[in-house]
Structure 1
Amino acid sequence: MIKSSGNVFADLGFEQAEAENLLVRSKLMAAIKAYIESEGITQEEAAERFHVAQPRISEIYQGKIDLFSVDKLINMLARVGQHVEITIHKAA
């Protein structure tokens, strides 16, 4: 059995800094999807709330992480009243 580092991207061989960035973006994208699902809204309605075009919401659902910056994802969440909190600690 292989022990996980706790970051799937690091486990896949990404350089540490990139792995951390990918992990943060994936969590933000998951939060956006969770918001949409908890609100029971369509992608079109979500696009209006997040102030983006509907294809951007589709790209989040498709996991196109490379198309989104941390800033963009945080801004989207803030537009719907979501608070993003960051915790920083020394890497293991």
Structure 2
Amino acid sequence: MALKFYDSPFHVTHDDEVASKMAMKMDLSIMLTGLIKEQGWTQKEAADKLKIQQSRVSDLKNAKIEKFTIDAMFDMLDVLGFKAQMSMPTLHEASIAISKTQAS
């Protein structure tokens, strides 16, 4: 029996569409949590900066990704001074780059 490899752990138990979104939300959650940690903010301080409830920061830190939409996570990155840019070289291929803006 050959080994089967998956794109992410989510692909084991979910269909491709759901699993891909879950993997993206997990990556965004890791990025946001890392940025908060890098700043040395408490959950309360992060909530104030992100203009969200402290309990939402707790959800983020505890990887409760099902409680977030992708656009809400991108909104948090915007507040932290990041910009997402999508490039689409063909109709069947696209990528998203997230980078710190110059002004922040």
Per the normalisation by structure 1, the TM-score is 0.84
Aligned equivalents of 1:4, 1:84: Cα separation in 2: 29
Higher relative contact order (CA 8 A, sep 6+): 1
Partner of 2:68: 68
Aligned equivalents of 2:43, 2:3: Cα separation in 1: 38
Please state which structure has a larger fraction of its residues in helix: 1
- The 3-state SS of whatever aligns with 1:84 is strand
Per the normalisation by structure 2, the TM-score is 0.75
Partner of 1:44: 44
Identity of aligned residues (%): 24
Q: Which amino acid aligns with 1:70?
A: I
Partner of 1:29: 29
Please state which structure has a larger fraction of its residues in strand: 2
Measured after TM superposition, the shift of residue 86 of structure 1 is: 4.8
CA RMSD of aligned residues (A): 2.0
Query: What runs of 5+ residues in structure 2 fail to find an aligned partner?
Result: 95-104
Aligned equivalents of 2:25, 2:56: Cα separation in 1: 14
Measured after TM superposition, the shift of residue 78 of structure 1 is: 0.5
- The 3-state SS of whatever aligns with 1:4 is coil
Measured after TM superposition, the shift of residue 44 of structure 1 is: 0.6
